[in-house]
């Protein structure tokens, strides 16, 4: 058993970028989006063989990336929680902790991946996650308005992540957001995935619901604030692709 298993979610279709077959393969600075992430994972030294959840255009992605990775197949795209469920059979028992990242997020750095892994090793929480604190949602940061809000209790402990579609007006004003980079204690993750439900506006299994489940169980949850908001950028829309291209052209 290795200490850390990285799991990359890359099974989605990317309906808001219809001109591209597979968003993870969109070129960014002459390199596919997912390759930026994979290079930073390699630099981090955290995991020898990352696993990748594939679904839509699975064959194209596997042919492009080759045999160096574990591939888990997601038959239907029913949300991020469902994507992780589809990896359970292959990954249960492979690592003491599971770090979840996204194939369309090219800017998460090796340092951030190492920090997530280090916090898990040193503090041994049930889960750890990266958060991004924004000054506001103006200019290019408007893209983060769609992100889940980090809701904390009066003591400052993280309580839950609320997706934008499910937020109250008061929660919409929160400027600490969730880029969805997690490190889970593996046994806890595999046991608690079945507690996820589709009782939300999207009718999907949200991986973020595990944070409230952990809070309600009294589990230890650690957060790490990422200083560079760009690391949280995912490529889901033409606007986000343009922000990413501008960022890599300097």
Q: Active site residue: 16, 94, 121, 141, which one? A: 16
16 part of the active site? yes
Q: What region, left, alpha or beta, does residue 218 occupy, with left being phi > 0 and alpha being psi -120 to 50 degrees?
A: left
**What is the separation of C-alpha 151 from the centre of its chain, rounded to a whole number of angstroms?**
18
DSSP state of 32: B
Q: How many whole angstroms separate alpha carbon 248 and alpha carbon 225?
A: 23
Alpha helices in the chain (DSSP H): 33-44, 58-65, 80-85, 88-91, 110-123, 169-172, 186-192, 209-216, 238-248
Q: Quick one: tokens of 200?
A: 């939300």
Residue 126, SS3? Answer: coil
Q: What region, left, alpha or beta, does residue 93 occupy, with left being phi > 0 and alpha being psi -120 to 50 degrees?
A: left
Q: Which residues are catalytic?
A: 16
């Amino acid at each position: 058993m290795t200490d850390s298993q990285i799991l990359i979610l890359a099974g989605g279709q990317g309906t808001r970028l219809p001109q591209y077959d597979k968003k993870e393969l969109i070129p960014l600075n002459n390199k596919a989006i997912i390759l930026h992430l994979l290079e930073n994972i390699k630099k981090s030294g955290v995991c020898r063989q990352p696993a990748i959840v594939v679904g839509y255009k699975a064959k194209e992605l596997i042919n492009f990336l080759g045999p160096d990775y574990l591939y888990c197949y997601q038959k239907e795209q029913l949300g991020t929680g469902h994507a992780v469920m589809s990896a359970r059979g292959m990954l249960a028992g492979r690592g003491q902790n599971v770090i979840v990242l996204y194939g369309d997020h090219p800017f998460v750095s090796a340092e951030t991946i190492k920090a997530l892994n280090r916090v898990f090793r040193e503090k041994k929480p049930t889960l750890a996650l990266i958060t991004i604190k924004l000054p506001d949602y103006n200019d290019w940061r408007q893209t983060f308005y769609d992100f889940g809000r980090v809701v904390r209790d009066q003591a400052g402990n993280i309580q839950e992540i609320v997706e934008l579609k499910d937020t109250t007006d008061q929660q919409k004003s929160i400027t600490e957001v969730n880029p969805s980079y997690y490190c889970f204690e593996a046994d806890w993750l595999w046991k608690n995935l079945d507690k996820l439900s589709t009782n939300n506006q999207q009718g999907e299994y949200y991986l973020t619901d595990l944070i409230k489940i952990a809070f309600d169980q009294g589990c230890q949850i650690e957060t790490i604030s990422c200083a560079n908001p760009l690391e949280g950028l995912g490529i889901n829309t033409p606007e986000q692709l343009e922000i990413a291209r501008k960022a890599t052209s300097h």
